[in-house]
A and B are shown apart, each in its own frame.
Chain A
């Protein structure tokens, strides 16, 4: 704004120029008194001229009163890949003949889900942590970098996550991390069980079960764990007190815990796959797989299907609802040594006695990659972010992106002091736990863990109270074992089974047709003409009368269509005029 002094100067040569109103600090002079009068009128006029302009700016939504335009108009754009991450399903196709109410419902629900998707994608930008990484200098391969170097380079707390436990007496060790990644369970072959809060290096309990141990597994929380001992399955609490000895589960070799179903799946030497519901303590199913000793096992975290590896080179997929395998895949020439499935349920990695490491797409059941490892991998494990670790003897190798692109070099390598027996990535941490003959080694693997956890699902920093609350919630929404199937989203889809299909299933289940009419058997009568046999004959004449019309109609329609089609083809041939060389012999 021009100062009032200037205005008084300018009005000398331009008579019509408007003046700003006189303010209280101005000295009153004769010349300006007149000006003030003018100014009063001008002040009245000014808003009148300015108002429409202002409205115009606001209507644009781009310009402010100051005249500047908004450099970032509209809502902030969301990157497409982030949106894609939260996409649940494709849009449903709208049929023209759909009922208007249904169409409205679909449109509204799609709008709602789209908004939710956008909000989630926006929120994704705000997540606090980034994933770790490891990059070598020029010409330096990352696998040459030793654990000591990494531990020195990173901060102290992270450096402390690389450590060795020398337990040479009772080894080799199986390893299991709890779902939050906070607690570590070690089970020595010769009976030693220890659970450790591994980040604070606090020992929770340490016992010797005085029996050989085949496998150890945390149950849903860090208060309980299962130990597969020489004969039976035992459950201990975190103080090392034996809670249960489950004699129905004998000779268990491997175990898997399905956290959302509260099921403990066990594979035994007697080729039984058994499911134990740990919330009620009942055996859900026992499946005799008839494939010999079951010592290779893993679960698909995406759909809770159990994968078993067999000595004849096949991998079989099991659900508790079916006595036969869902899928049998021949994966290797020799026996299968280890199987693992990634978090999204897309890839399965297997290693076999034929020293090969193979990657399969288990949604399409097709092989993707095949690698040859000189010594063959005995244990495999996939991390949350898709790093694959494989042990060959006492060497632990970590690979990156094995699933999509052929890999020649490992991402990291490390030699432990004994033959590795147990291998597991720690969830939500860049740590790989290796149990071996000489104890346990916790390795740093940058980029392995999911950086941002969900506090309501698995919170590493939860308090006891929070854990109790989570436990109640989780038990309330325990998924029934009947819902385990290859496609976990099946429940959300429309059941397209027709009446006929359902009827067929029912007939198969019952063994007879419940809707079938009894077949007519004419009474054996010797006299009388209107015998029941004749009645039946007459009945047959008019049987299915209502359907006959329809059948006749459809047959006629079909014939008509066929005729029309032929006619059209003939005409087409005529019109096209593509005469072949032999056409001149036609007439």
Chain B
């Protein structure tokens, strides 16, 4: 007779001393783990619910401005510094870690229209309604010294926007025309006009550093090459664009925020139709900024909300609002991809988390694993109705909720009418125009 009976030595399965961690022998045999899918689903559901529970995006409000915040700039080298300019010409430098203002200066008379930090981070430029461009030192003046700009340029017209080159001592302004300035000179080295009376924003391309994009008041977005004397091309849309922002990773894409409540992502090479139309705002979109990863962007709107869109998604993944936040004029995504800053009408700058449910601070390895695992589960079961309902639910202010509904009804009515017109007219007389093509009037080269 040969016999063997299961006989385990407890020493192999129990920890030796109380100081050790417990032993957990594993066996991944699927038959020992029944209901795999159901249990994963339950975990995913719990993770989704917890995400909603922990979604507290608002971190801090930076108050101190005496008028609405009109523009902001990130520091090129330091994560914790933020510059903001208000409608009364005051400029403040903030320390974000301490949530306090470290420096205040009266930069202009009237609005501060644009701020930009030089790529080296030692100085910054401001442009204002008083037709001046000023260069300031980043360091605050010593005791007893006066706040004085390093350099002041007197322009002929009002400036509405400002951006600096990524590598060279060159910057661009916009106003009645787009000007390219050398830091050393007091007159522009180049001026671009294209039968347009005013521009609202100008941005350098972060990769192809000689390229610029600007938004003009004749509802067009104009592209320039700094090395050439004439603009490259422009696309004219049905409504005016307010600002434009390049995707930092795929720098042939840019997104513009439009007065018709939408944002449009274009491919620089094919301007005849946008790549994606981002809808969800219920009022004019005033500002847009990309995350440093280039996967998402944040937009600020006149409807008192901030929304976060995936770069290739038509609908927003997140909406931020508070009772006290009024029309949001400017918005920035921090360079560490974790925070969002918004400046609004009621004189405050607000600091938000980019991922509403993210835990801030150092994570232990176990926490990291758990976060990654639940993230994957949520992704896996995202289309299940129960989970989708919870994940997509956002509480909205009453006015926005009703406006969204109203817009939907209006859109549906317009669609229905068009369909009826098409039905009762000669075949081909009323062609079907896709949502993407609807908003582009023409492309001029």
Contact = CB atoms under 8 A, between A and B. Distances in A.
Contact of A123 (B23, B28, B32, B33): B28
A130 B29 CA distance: 14
A344 interface: yes
Contacts of A477: 39, 42-43, 46
A429 B6 contact: yes
A140 interface: yes
Range of interface residues on chain A?
35 or more
A546 B12 CA distance: 75
Interface in A391-417: none
A61 interface: no
Contacts of B39: 260, 477, 479
B14 interface: yes
A157 B7 contact: yes
Interface string A331-358: 0000000000001100000000000000
A139 interface: no
B35 A446 contact: no
Interface string A150-165: 1001110110010000
Contacts of A303: 34-35
Describe A's contact surface by its main secondary structure. loop
B34 A446 contact: no
Contacts of B14: 461
Given A135-B3, A477-B43, A492-B37, A461 B26 contact: no
A40 interface: no
Contacts of B41: 483, 491
A375 B41 CA distance: 47
Contact of A457 (B3, B4, B22, B32): B32
A442 to B, nearest CB: 12
A545 B31 CA distance: 57
A400 to B, nearest CB: 14
B46 A488 contact: no
Interface in A525-573: 545-546
A86 interface: yes
A396 B1 CA distance: 21
B98 interface: no
Interface in A251-288: 260
B220 to A, nearest CB: 32
A490 B36 CA distance: 11
A131 B5 CA distance: 8
A158 B7 contact: yes
Contact of B5 (A85, A137, A444, A466): A444
Nearest to A461: B13
A47 interface: no
A450 B8 CA distance: 12
A475 to B, nearest CB: 11
Given A153-B3, A260-B35, A455-B23, A120 B8 contact: no
A67 interface: no
A438 interface: no
B428 interface: no
Nearest to B385: A495
A8 interface: no
A323 interface: no
A524 B154 CA distance: 84
Given A477-B42, A477-B46, A446 B25 contact: no
Contacts of B1: 134-137, 140, 145, 149, 153
Contact of B3 (A129, A133, A490): A133
Contacts of A140: 1
A428 B29 CA distance: 14
A304 interface: yes
A32 to B, nearest CB: 62
A483 B34 contact: no
B227 interface: no
Closest 10 CB pairs of A and B: A455-B24, A461-B13, A492-B37, A158-B5, A135-B2, A452-B27, A120-B28, A454-B27, A158-B7, A479-B38
9 contacts: A124-B29, A132-B3, A133-B3, A157-B7, A343-B31, A461-B23, A477-B46, A479-B35, A479-B42
Interface of A: 85-86, 88, 120, 123-124, 127-137, 140, 145, 149-150, 153-155, 157-158, 161, 260, 301-304, 343-344, 428-430, 444, 446, 449-457, 459-463, 465-466, 476-480, 483, 488-492, 545-546
